[in-house]
Chains A and B, each alone.
Chain A
Amino acid sequence: MKKISLLLAFLAFIGLQVVLAQTRNISGTVTSGDDGSSIPGASVIVKGTTLGTVTDMDGKFSLKIPATAKALMVTFVGMQSQEVPIGNQSTVNVKLTSERLAVDEVVVTALGIAREKKSLGYASQEVKADNMGAVKSNNFMNSLSGKISGVQIKKNTNMGGSTNVILRGSKSLTNSNQVLYVVDGVPINNQIGSATGQNTGGVGYDYGNAASDINPDDIESINVLKGSAATALYGSRASGGVIMIVTKKGTKGNKGIGVTINSNIAFSSIDKSTFPTYQDQYGAGYGQYYGPDGDAWFESRNATGGNTGAMYDWVPMTEDASYGAKFDGHPVYGWYSVDKESPSYGQPKPWTAAKNGPITFFEKPFTATNSISIDNSTDKGSARLSYTNYDTKGLMPNSSLKKNNFLVNGTWKVTDKLTAAMSANYTNQSAIGRNSTGYNDNIMSGMRQWWETNTDLMDQKAIYDKTQRNISWNYGPALSGNPIYWDNPYWTRFQNYETDSRNRFIGNMSLTYKITSWLDAYGRVAADSYSELQEERRAVGSLATTFGLNRTSAGNAASGYLRRDINFTEFNYDFMLNFNKNFGEDFNLKGILGATERKTKYSTLTSATNGGLVVPGIYSLQNSANALIFPVELNSIIGVRGLYASASLSYKSMLYLDATFRQDYASSLPVANNKYYYPSVTGAFIFSEMLKQDWLSFGKVRLNYAEVGNLAGYDQLLDKYTVNTPFNKPSYSLPSTKNNPDLKPESTKSIEAGLEMKFLKNRVGFDLALYKTNSKDQIQAVTLSQTTGYNFSYVNSGEIENKGIEVSLYLVPVQTNSFKWDINVNFAKNKNKVLSLYPGVKNLLIGTFQGGVTLNANLDQPNGVLKGTDYTYDAGGNIIINAANGKPVKSKTATEIIGNVNPDWIGGIQNSFSYKNISLSFLIDVQKGGSIFNLDMYYGMSSGLYPETVGNNDLGNPVRDNLVFNQYGPDSKGNLTVGIPSGGYTAASGGYIIEGVNVVNGVSTPNKTRVDASNSDGWGYAALPNKAFVYDAGYVKLREVAISYTLPSRWLVKTGLKGVVLSAVGSNLWIISKHLPYADPESGLAAGNVQGYSIGSLPSTRDLGFNIKLNF
């Protein structure tokens, strides 16, 4: 903001430099009391006159003043104004102290219009570049967590992965609820690039979201417009809220060009609380049923794997669980004994837990970000050029992501009346080896769900490095050919890797013509365009998995190549008339008349080999074993034309009234319904102006009402056939979704009230917002009974209500000349509820997860409840246990509500300290509540990976020992072998007891039946309902700690440097509290409406970055 203000101030005062009969000169420097840095662009005015100037890049000013002048008024946005007596001095040095949430703060609102924050009748909250953290994340949104109330940010752990950003709760059942990103007034694309199915937990890659192309180093400030009233002028697409980004611009320096060099390195290491701990007592297998008689812990083969001669114990390599034999060190043959190139070919190894477990697989991520920018500003205009290079190595072997970003922007005063501006941003991103996600073919699912604790990763690495072949710990029964369930993880990373690259241009040109002193005309053309290539590989020799065009089981392939070409272009045309006129002394009227049009074209072409590759190592469609299946083409075009008007009336800087009106005309709606209208009204009353109390620095109430429409997606009107691969002759099928030619626009109505107060000369303050949003006529693909012949049908129906409260608090407990302590607190609570769906429909299925768990919008419930099997309970609320096997009796159906993915509340506390040139801040980020279903524990407990599945039971015996009964009954052959639980157990029994009751004839008695944990049926999905694996997704995180040191300017006098800032920032250093075992509750699916599912995610990292910033 500082630099924008500078520009504004500069422009404002250009006209004031009137030559007067001077009597004397006065000069000086304006610096910041916070950090001693000079303040460029501060205005210095002779009190009682219009004489004045602005400070230069070094914060220096020089002014000719009349003899009568008594004092200077020094002001700067974000700082407390100061009146400085002149006396006889010819030099005046002024220290300004910063003013939190300054009254005159200027923020950028919809359409890029700068407004005084105090005049706004809706909530907005800003984060400046220097509070965005110096750890360079691939996605700038990740550094906003906890800093803005009401924004739920869910960063996942995928390299370059997408970040889910939801403002004030999810409002739409099936449309994207993501916020709209607007850069310098122009909306930019935020396509989430994962293929269908990936973001619902299917196999695939998380290609990130396109808004991450915005270079964090170019961001000056971010302003979040939360409610519909704030975003109404953006029309339909802003229904999820808007994140306004202002990029850095050229600023004036009296020594000419300003140069900034920023260099940052960051190191990451795994947060071990987000990765499994493994039990180390039992190895591979599922139980005691191997060997020729089906009763052994080990397979029986000879030393080379054959069936003749002397037989030995072999690891059950065809399994991917650790419910096998106890580690006892006796010699056992395994995968290492099979291959002739293996150093222990034909040799056994002791039966022990692996020395190098899965955690040794990960590498230490390292990120280097270097940027240089040059800027300048003259009377004729300004310009800024910047280049940033970002290079990161990921957690997984063979993963990296590189970005190059070029930005040029500038303004040019063509004439006194005509100003031209332009911005051009080119980004090139390329990634290698993004991690696979989901259930199948995901190394992490293997390590978290299906693993043999005897597998030594370094041995797997050694054999891969030596042979470059897929020699896996998971051999198939034949001990040759492809592995059975899991490839050697190093093979996967170095052979089956994906690559992707994106070239993107975002640019705009605009002209502003000053027609009269109170009327401007403004026109702009903006383009956002990218082309992206995603390539997925599967090397010959891999195990077969779902791969290729249709990731169904029919699409299983042991090798293959897929490419997806994506082209996106969006043009936005805008024309606006702006007027700004005072009426009398007390009234001001600002207004806009505007017209806008956007045309968005998104096309993809996906093609893949069929039936595997012919020649290994050549990843080309021509290398397909069978004839290619038809490629999948998508060519979606959406056009929206809008007309809008807005008027802002103010009275005495005290009362503000705004109204907007917009009409949209959208191509994706039926002709009869394709025009829709929506208004907004906002009001603000600054009561502190009226009360004029010392204790009250500022007080404002605000109130607004807004309606926003939303259009349909592309091609939801008319039915189209699905084209199948020809079966001798052409083959078609009806689609699963019935389209609807009578759709109408969605509408959202919202009201919001706010109170903002500051006390004690702005040292304490709060901003409170209350809102209620009702989103109606949702365009949704309602789930139909499949007996209708369709799975879904597009309808306009349903209503979701979001109600919430947002509070921002700040406090400056200590403030002296050299020391300052700031506290900022953000809190937001949102409650949403599905008020209606569709006549006769009580539930809308949003996502289906493995394990039979679904994510739903259920009538009268929050949007996003998890359903699955629950425990059953007696009248006293005790869990009912089956007396025969000791396991809980599951609910009959999988439609019990077992969780709600929406958090109870989210918040953050930031503490900042500054002492002279040093500043320190830390941020604690909290999410309370919210549910997440964890498939890793669902399967992994049953596979016996986790320490919870070993150890001694209440009788002091290993829990995995067999049950030993006091009493036996006859089996079908009359032998006394059937244990009778009711007779009790001997002191030597294994197994464990689940607390609960047995119910006989309606009478509950405490459960005494032990669960047999001698094989994998005793835990996890085999024993417990889905509910047992739904965890509280809440967390408390030490999100960020930053220390920075600004070198005193006197040290730099002879260096030619104007400023040097050194900083160290740690992010995600400590998860102070969480409930989800062995994983980060934030990690999970890609961004989108399907949330609340944790499956095979990468562990989180602690990131430590070091930054040096040089200003020349």
Chain B
Amino acid sequence: MQKILIVFLVFIAVSSCKKLDELNANLKDFTVVPGEAVYNGATRALLNQMFTFNVNNNNTQLFVQYFAETTYPDESRYDMITRPIPATHMNTIYRTVLMNYKDAARALTEAPLAGIDQKQRDNQLAIIEVMSVFAWSNVVETFGNMPYTEALDYTKPNPKYDDGLTIYKDLITRLNAAIAKLDPAFAGMGAGYDNVFGGTAAGTAKWIRFANTLKLRMGIMLSDVTAEAALAKTTIEAAAPNVFNVPITSPTTGDKFAMTYLPGSPNQNPVYTELVVSGRYDFVATSVFVDALNAVNDPRRPGFMWTQVDGEYRGGAQGMPNSYTAFTHVDNAQLTPTREVVLMDYTEAEFLLAEAASRGYTITGSAMTHYNNAITASIKYWGGSDASVATYLAQPAVAFATATGTWRQKIGTQSWFAYYFRGFTAWTNWRRLDYPQLIASPKHVQEVNGIPVRYTFAVSEQTLNFDNYTAAAAAVGGDKAETRLFWDKGPENYDSSFK
């Protein structure tokens, strides 16, 4: 019987004598992946965040009063705490976008050239840099001061906040360097990874145009900052000749940074996901926006995919609950999963040029020409005809010479119309130009005393990075949604107080 015991013991001994160390190896996941594929994921994440309608992610379309909500108007009342909007945005931009851009650049730098030219690799790195600058500019325009020099480094768990203007100036420097590095004779990321300009040499030329349009915008953003007048001028005037310049003459033509989505989840257009796939009926157009468009008989209204109520466009009350059927809303049937999103385009370039001219910078073309070009492109993009453009521009309320108010009001109003569906662009533009005059929701939440003009810092920073948070809050002039940022120096022309 001892044999049994011996066999048993030997069995135990044999079964347990393998090395344990190898067991921890993860055989299912990747430690090394192509940099282009990391770039691909980050870019899609950035565009989703910029264009989503999800009330957990982005409520800028509510701030600029394109949309009101139906049953649950909390976000239209500027509640940014219940659904931690600033934290979500910060998380997306820093972690999902910028950190991955950083890693994509690292991976590409370390990867062997494997048959491609160093020039193409440089283009790839420059494209990542341009996109990083775009994302960073959004961070500064949204929050003001934020971690920059110590950011994106897990060994610094409590990064300090840098001054917004200082970051912004550094971003312009980086953007200039990236533009200089882009060589239109060579391809970029490669088709499928670059889902905007296609990754060819022709695409690289468009990247240069896009980077310059961004540069123009960044220069314009500084144009109300007295101390940076010289930098604004050189930036704007250097960028102006190189911005998007192919006019949009139809929904599918012209210069634009546009990305087309795919038919299947999870790569569908975020607007389609939120409005159609969700099966919800959360948004109607506001009377503020609809009435303004009705007043000038705007030809873009059908193009905005709007339904009519009793034969007319009728908006709901912003900041209040609204009946979905009683008011104009996006006709879901017109949305498609593959619909493109437009981050920047010829229309925006022309509005920026109109503004540059109005501000007296030395650029080609008059303010009126650029204003008309912008409006024309926008109407064409939303499906309007040449005739409708002509009729529209002929209206005294539209024509640059006769429209009400200063250039700020004229450009502010028309670009507000044109940036429909581009929440962040519209919100930033409205904050800089201070037009159109928007009245804050009278049912605002207690914490926010006006239409937000910045995101408050993420609540999580108060617990995770308290000292730096506190310093930053003091530096920007108080961590409030009503605190105007360093670039937001125009005349305060909107109602930010409540009765």
Residues of A whose CB lies within 8 Å of any CB of B are: 286-287, 289-292, 294, 299, 316, 318-319, 321, 414-415, 417-418, 420, 476-478, 482, 484-485, 511, 513, 521, 523, 525, 543-545, 550, 552-558, 571, 573-575, 597, 599, 610-611, 626-627, 629, 633-635, 637-641, 665-668, 671, 674, 714-715, 717-721, 723-725, 727-734, 736, 738, 782-791, 793, 838, 840-843, 845, 851-852, 856, 869, 882, 887, 889-890, 892-895, 971-972, 978, 1017, 1021-1022
Asked if residues B157 and A784 are in contact (CB atoms below 8 Å), the reply is yes
Complex contacts, A856 vs chain B, CB 8 Å: 463
Instruction: Given A418-B1, A484-B281, A978-B499, check contact A788 B152 (CB 8 Å).
Output: yes
Which one, B96, B264, B463, contacts A843 given CB within 8 A? B463
Cβ-closest chain B residue relative to A669: B24
Cβ-closest chain A residue relative to B261: A727
Q: Which of A299, A571, A788 has the most CB of B within 10 A?
A: A788
The residues in B between 460 and 499 inclusive whose CB is less than 8 angstroms from any CB of A are 460-466, 499
Chain A binder among B87-95, B124-132, B206-214, B224-232? B87-95
Which one, B74, B158, B265, B462, contacts A557 given CB within 8 A? B265
Complex contacts, B281 vs chain A, CB 8 Å: 318, 476-477, 484
Query: In the docked arrangement, what's the CA distance between A321 and B320, Å?
Result: 16
Instruction: Given A787-B151, A791-B91, check contact A889 B12 (CB 8 Å).
Output: no
Asked if residues A418 and B5 are in contact (CB atoms below 8 Å), the reply is yes
Chain A binder among B115-123, B322-330, B382-390? B322-330
Asked if residues A665 and B20 are in contact (CB atoms below 8 Å), the reply is yes
Instruction: Given A727-B44, A789-B99, check contact A521 B5 (CB 8 Å).
Output: yes
Asked if residues A286 and B321 are in contact (CB atoms below 8 Å), the reply is yes
Instruction: Given A417-B1, A523-B5, check contact A789 B447 (CB 8 Å).
Output: no
Cβ-closest chain A residue relative to B74: A1022
Cβ-closest chain B residue relative to A627: B264
Complex contacts, A791 vs chain B, CB 8 Å: 91, 95
Asked if residues B464 and A843 are in contact (CB atoms below 8 Å), the reply is yes
Asked if residues B12 and A573 are in contact (CB atoms below 8 Å), the reply is yes
Mask: chain B, 431-463; 1 = CB below 8 Å from A; 0 = not: 000000000000100110000000000111111
Asked if residues B31 and A789 are in contact (CB atoms below 8 Å), the reply is no
Which one, A289, A557, A789, A1021, contacts B323 given CB within 8 A? A289
Asked if residues A852 and B82 are in contact (CB atoms below 8 Å), the reply is yes
The residues in B between 249 and 270 inclusive whose CB is less than 8 angstroms from any CB of A are 262-268, 270
Min C-beta distance of A494 to chain B, whole Å: 20
Query: In the docked arrangement, what's the CA distance between A291 and B281, Å?
Result: 17
Cβ-closest chain B residue relative to A478: B325
Query: In the docked arrangement, what's the CA distance between A14 and B130, Å?
Result: 88
Query: In the docked arrangement, what's the CA distance between A634 and B27, Å?
Result: 9
- B339 CB-CB contact with A under 8 Å: no
Query: In the docked arrangement, what's the CA distance between A448 and B466, Å?
Result: 38
Which one, B33, B326, B460, contacts A786 given CB within 8 A? B460
Complex contacts, A789 vs chain B, CB 8 Å: 94-95, 98-99, 102, 151-154
Asked if residues A667 and B24 are in contact (CB atoms below 8 Å), the reply is yes
- B274 CB-CB contact with A under 8 Å: yes
Which one, A316, A666, A890, A895, contacts B446 given CB within 8 A? A890
- B29 CB-CB contact with A under 8 Å: yes
- B243 CB-CB contact with A under 8 Å: no
Min C-beta distance of B442 to chain A, whole Å: 10
The residues in B between 167 and 217 inclusive whose CB is less than 8 angstroms from any CB of A are 190-193, 195
- B112 CB-CB contact with A under 8 Å: no
Complex contacts, B446 vs chain A, CB 8 Å: 882, 887, 889-890
Complex contacts, B151 vs chain A, CB 8 Å: 787-789
Instruction: Given A299-B323, A639-B20, check contact A732 B38 (CB 8 Å).
Output: yes
- B374 CB-CB contact with A under 8 Å: no
Identify the 5 closest CB pairs spanning chains A and B, nearest first.
A789-B99, A626-B264, A729-B192, A544-B279, A720-B29
Complex contacts, A721 vs chain B, CB 8 Å: 29-31, 33, 38
Cβ-closest chain B residue relative to A638: B23
Instruction: Given A553-B273, A893-B462, check contact A728 B262 (CB 8 Å).
Output: yes
- B397 CB-CB contact with A under 8 Å: no
Complex contacts, A1022 vs chain B, CB 8 Å: 74
19 examples of A-B residue contacts, CB within 8 angstroms:
A291-B326, A294-B323, A299-B325, A525-B11, A552-B266, A667-B24, A720-B26, A721-B31, A721-B33, A723-B30, A724-B41, A727-B195, A729-B36, A784-B157, A787-B147, A787-B151, A789-B94, A790-B95, A791-B95
Residues of B whose CB lies within 8 Å of any CB of A are: 1-2, 4-5, 8-9, 11-12, 15-16, 20-24, 26-31, 33-34, 36-38, 40-42, 44-45, 54, 56, 70-71, 74, 81-84, 87, 90-91, 94-96, 98-100, 102-103, 146-147, 151-154, 156-159, 190-193, 195, 262-268, 270, 273-274, 277-281, 317, 320-326, 443, 446-447, 458-466, 499
Which one, B41, B323, B466, contacts A842 given CB within 8 A? B466
Instruction: Given A292-B326, A725-B266, A895-B463, check contact A786 B87 (CB 8 Å).
Output: yes
Cβ-closest chain B residue relative to A479: B325
Instruction: Given A720-B31, A788-B154, check contact A715 B266 (CB 8 Å).
Output: no
Asked if residues B20 and A626 are in contact (CB atoms below 8 Å), the reply is no
Asked if residues A635 and B266 are in contact (CB atoms below 8 Å), the reply is no
Query: In the docked arrangement, what's the CA distance between A894 and B459, Å?
Result: 7
Instruction: Given A720-B30, A730-B33, A738-B154, check contact A667 B159 (CB 8 Å).
Output: no
Which one, B22, B33, B466, contacts A732 given CB within 8 A? B33
Query: In the docked arrangement, what's the CA distance between A1010 and B466, Å?
Result: 37
**A-B contacts besides A554-B268, A788-B151, A788-B159, 4 pairs, CB < 8 Å:** A318-B70, A641-B16, A719-B31, A734-B95
Instruction: Given A610-B264, A639-B20, check contact A790 B26 (CB 8 Å).
Output: no
Q: Which of A638, A889, A894 has the most CB of B within 10 A?
A: A894
Min C-beta distance of B462 to chain A, whole Å: 6
Query: In the docked arrangement, what's the CA distance between A793 and B192, Å?
Result: 32
Asked if residues A785 and B464 are in contact (CB atoms below 8 Å), the reply is yes
Min C-beta distance of A859 to chain B, whole Å: 10
Query: In the docked arrangement, what's the CA distance between A543 and B279, Å?
Result: 6
Cβ-closest chain B residue relative to A885: B446
Which one, B11, B41, B466, contacts A727 given CB within 8 A? B41
Which one, B71, B99, B266, B464, contacts A319 given CB within 8 A? B71
Complex contacts, A521 vs chain B, CB 8 Å: 5
Which one, A299, A667, A720, A788, contacts B23 given CB within 8 A? A667
Cβ-closest chain B residue relative to A728: B192
Cβ-closest chain B residue relative to A713: B24
Min C-beta distance of B467 to chain A, whole Å: 9
Asked if residues A639 and B23 are in contact (CB atoms below 8 Å), the reply is yes
Complex contacts, A289 vs chain B, CB 8 Å: 320-323
Instruction: Given A721-B31, A786-B91, check contact A731 B20 (CB 8 Å).
Output: no
Complex contacts, B326 vs chain A, CB 8 Å: 290-292, 294
Complex contacts, B461 vs chain A, CB 8 Å: 785, 787
Complex contacts, A1021 vs chain B, CB 8 Å: 82
Asked if residues B323 and A787 are in contact (CB atoms below 8 Å), the reply is no
Asked if residues B463 and A571 are in contact (CB atoms below 8 Å), the reply is no
Instruction: Given A667-B21, A789-B94, check contact A895 B464 (CB 8 Å).
Output: no
Query: In the docked arrangement, what's the CA distance between A714 and B23, Å?
Result: 9
Query: In the docked arrangement, what's the CA distance between A845 and B466, Å?
Result: 15
Cβ-closest chain A residue relative to B35: A732
Min C-beta distance of A873 to chain B, whole Å: 16
Complex contacts, A728 vs chain B, CB 8 Å: 40, 191-193, 195, 262
Complex contacts, B1 vs chain A, CB 8 Å: 414-415, 417-418
Cβ-closest chain B residue relative to A792: B154
Asked if residues B21 and A611 are in contact (CB atoms below 8 Å), the reply is no
Complex contacts, B447 vs chain A, CB 8 Å: 890, 892
Query: In the docked arrangement, what's the CA distance between A837 and B151, Å?
Result: 22
Asked if residues A571 and B15 are in contact (CB atoms below 8 Å), the reply is yes
Complex contacts, B463 vs chain A, CB 8 Å: 842-843, 845, 856, 895
Complex contacts, B265 vs chain A, CB 8 Å: 554-557, 610-611, 626, 629
Query: In the docked arrangement, what's the CA distance between A719 and B100, Å?
Result: 14
Which one, B42, B154, B320, contacts A733 given CB within 8 A? B42
